[in-house]
A and B are shown apart, each in its own frame.
Chain A
Amino acid sequence: MKFQKISVALFLAGKSIQRGNRFTFILTVTIMALVFVNLVFLPSIISGVVVNFNTQSIDYSFGNLIIEPREKQVVITNVYSLKRKLDQIPEVIGSSPRTQIGATYRYKDNTQSGPLIALSPKSDMEVTKIGTKVKEGYFLEDTDTDSIVLGTTLTGNQDSRLDKSDSLGGPQVGERISVTFSNGVTRDLVVKGILDSGVYNVDLAGYVTTREMEQVLGVKDEASSILVKMRENGKEEYYKNLLMQYGVQEKVRTYKEKAGGFVNDAVTAFEIINTISTGVSLVIATVVTFIVIFINTVNKRRQIGILKAIGINKRVIVYSYVLQVLVIATCGTILGLALAGLLVMYLNINPLIFPGGAVYPVVEPGPFIRSTISLYLVSIISGFIPSYNTANEPILEAIRGPA
C-alpha cells in the first residue's frame, strides 16, 4: 500500500507539473532562483570585503604582527639584535624594521605632505608584497641612496582631474623631487619607481632605504616599528603571545589591533549589515515563496476535492503537492546556483573596487547551504499547509467553493 501511495502521488505530481500552467511554474522557479541569489550574493561580497581587508592589511600594511617601541619610548633601539632574535623563531617567516616620519614632497609647483617610510627592501620583501607592486620603474635595493619610490596616489597625474586626491602632479620615473625630512633636511631624490598596491594608505606614502634615512637623520640601529610575517594568517593572537614568550619586550600588536578602530569598525559594521540583510532576505524569501506556492496550491482546491471524492487518500494528495513543490525548489535552487555562479564569475573578472583594494566575492558554503535549506523548508511548508488544509476540508466545499 505504501508503494502505491507514493506512486500515485508521483503520478499526480508529474502530470501536474507537465500539464499545469507553464507560466506559473517558470515564474515560481525564477522567483525562487532570485531569492536564492539574493540570499547568497551579499554575504559573498561582505566575506570578500573582510577577506580583502585582512589580506591587504597583512600583505601590504602591517604583516601579521607589528612590534612597536616600549612604553615611554619613541623608537625601537637595538633593532639588529631584535631582528636576529625574531628571525630565529621558527614560526617567523620574516621581519622588516621600518621608520616612518612625516615629510614634505615638492615637485615643480606642487607641494604635498605625507608619510615617508624607510625600509630595508630585502627584509621587507620577506614580509610585505609592496615590492611586487611597482607599476613603473623599479623597487628599492638595500644599497640605494638618493632614490625614492612613490605611491601612485601621492605621485598623481599631470592632469590633476585624474587624481584620487591631492598629488605631486605626476613626476616621472627618473625625475627628481625634493623631500624635506622631519628634521628639516631637504634632499633631491630620484624617483626610482612608482608603487600601485591598490591599498589607499600604502599608495599615499613615499619609500626610501633605511640607509638613506639613517644618513639624513644621523641615527643608527633604530626603527619606529618592525613588521613581522608569520607562518599562518589568522593565528595572530597566539603568535603575539609566542613572541612575548621568546622575550620580546617591545609592544607587540596584531594587524587587527593596529588597523584599529576604523577598519575593525568597518568590518563589524559589514558583518552587522550582513546579518540584518540575510535575516531580511530570509524573511522576504519565505514570504514570497510561501505566497507564490500557497496561491498556486489554493487554486487547486477543486482538484483536491475531486481527488478525495473519488477515493484518493488525503496523504497521497498532500504528498503529491509536496513533491511538486520539491521539484520547483530544486529547479529554483539550480537556476539560483547558476545565476549566482554567473554573478560571481562576472565579479571575479570585474571586481568591485573598494578603498582597501579590489574585492572579489568569497563564496563560502555556509550561505549556500543555509539558502538551500531555507528554500526547501519554506517550499515544503507552503506546499504542505494549503494542500493539507484543503484535503481536510469537507469535500463538497472544496469542489464547489470559490476557486
Chain B
Amino acid sequence: MINATDISRVYRMGLVEVHALSGVSFDIGKGEFVGIVGASGSGKSTLLHILGLLDLPTSGFLSINGIDVSAMNDDERTEFRLNNLGYVFQDYALVQELTVLENVSLPAMMRGTPRDEYLHKSEELLNQVGLIHRMHHRQYELSGGEQQRVAIARSLINSPTLLFADEPCANLDTKSSRNILELFQKLNAELSQTIIMVTHEEWHEAYMCRVLVLTDGKVADQRACKR
C-alpha cells in the first residue's frame, strides 16, 4: 500500500539546514493501523505531510497503491488527495467561512457526490464524532477538541483508502479519545481502513497493529502492538 524508501526532508533557512527526516524507509500494507511516535520535533508531522502528499521529500521514493506519487504534478496530487486520502491536521485546518456540516461535506461535493448522499453521510459522521448538534455552527464557535472531531469527520467523508491523522486526540479528554480510537479501530476492522496516526500517548498503541518510532528524523524502532 505504502512504500517509502530513503525519504529525507531538509528545511533550509538561510545557511542553516534542518534535517527533519533523514533516510526513512518502511512499508505499510493494506488494512494496517500504524502509529508514528516520537519526541516533539522528531519529524512525525513532516513524515505524515509527505505521506499525505502535502509536502515533497527532498529526496527518496514514495509509492502509494503502487503509484509513484513523486512523479505526479500538482493537480494530480490534489486529485489524488481528494479521491484516496483523508487527512486530520494537527491544527484541524477547518475552512473558516463554512459551517461544521459544510466543512465535512465539501470534499464530497467536490467529488460530485449527489447532495442527498453527502448530506446523509456527513450527518452520520458528525453523529459518530458526537457533534451532530453543532452541525450548523462555525469553527470559531467550537472548542479545540470539537474542531478536531470535525476535522476527523471531514477526513472520512470520501471513504479514503488511506487515513492520516496527526495527533487527532491531542485536545480530547480520555473518553472522547477512546471514542475516536474506537471509531478508527472499527473502520480498520470492518472496512480494512488503512490508518496512519501520529500520537504520543502510549495507551493509544493498544488500538494499533504496529508502531514506528521516530528519533531525530530516523526510524529508530518498529514494534508490533499487542491488541
Interface residues of chain A, those whose CB is within 8 Å of chain B, are 1, 4, 7-8, 11-12, 15-16, 19-20, 303, 305-314, 316, 392, 394-396, 399
Please measure, in the bound complex, the distance between the C-alpha atom of A19 and the C-alpha atom of B103, giving whole angstroms: 14
B79 adjacent to A306 (CB under 8 Å): no
Given A310-B81, A311-B79: A4 and B110 interface contact (C-beta under 8 Å): yes
Chain A nearest CB, measured from B94 CB (Å): 7
Interface residues of chain B, those whose CB is within 8 Å of chain A, are 49, 54-56, 74-75, 78-79, 81-83, 85, 87, 89, 93-98, 102, 106-107, 109-112, 138, 154, 158
B97 adjacent to A15 (CB under 8 Å): yes
Excluding A303-B95, A303-B96, A308-B78, 12 further A-B contacts by CB distance (< 8 Å) are A7-B109, A8-B110, A16-B97, A19-B138, A309-B54, A310-B81, A310-B107, A312-B110, A314-B74, A394-B55, A395-B55, A396-B55
Given A310-B154, A399-B93: A8 and B75 interface contact (C-beta under 8 Å): no
- 7 A-B pairs with least C-beta separation: A311-B82, A311-B81, A4-B112, A19-B97, A306-B93, A15-B97, A395-B54
A309 adjacent to B110 (CB under 8 Å): no
A312 adjacent to B93 (CB under 8 Å): no
Contact partners of A311 in chain B: CB under 8 A: 78-79, 81-83, 85, 107, 110-111, 158
Please measure, in the bound complex, the distance between the C-alpha atom of A12 and the C-alpha atom of B110, giving whole angstroms: 11
Contact partners of B78 in chain A: CB under 8 A: 308, 311-314
Majority-rule SS of A interface residues = helix
A396 adjacent to B54 (CB under 8 Å): yes
Chain A nearest CB, measured from B105 CB (Å): 10
Contact partners of A307 in chain B: CB under 8 A: 95
Please measure, in the bound complex, the distance between the C-alpha atom of A15 and the C-alpha atom of B136, giving whole angstroms: 13
Contact partners of B89 in chain A: CB under 8 A: 309, 399
- Cross-chain contact of A306 among B94, B112, B158 (Cβ < 8 A): B94
Please measure, in the bound complex, the distance between the C-alpha atom of A303 and the C-alpha atom of B96, giving whole angstroms: 7
Contact partners of B98 in chain A: CB under 8 A: 15, 19
- Cross-chain contact of B109 among A1, A8, A394, A399 (Cβ < 8 A): A8
Given A310-B154, A311-B82: A316 and B110 interface contact (C-beta under 8 Å): yes
B74 adjacent to A392 (CB under 8 Å): yes
Chain A nearest CB, measured from B99 CB (Å): 9
Q: Which of B56, B106, B107, B154 neighbours the largest number of chain A CB atoms within 10 Å of its CB?
A: B106
Chain A nearest CB, measured from B44 CB (Å): 14
A313 adjacent to B97 (CB under 8 Å): no
- Cross-chain contact of B112 among A1, A312, A392 (Cβ < 8 A): A1
- Cross-chain contact of A310 among B49, B55, B106 (Cβ < 8 A): B106
B110 adjacent to A20 (CB under 8 Å): no
Output the nearest chain B residue to A305 by Cβ-Cβ distance.
B93
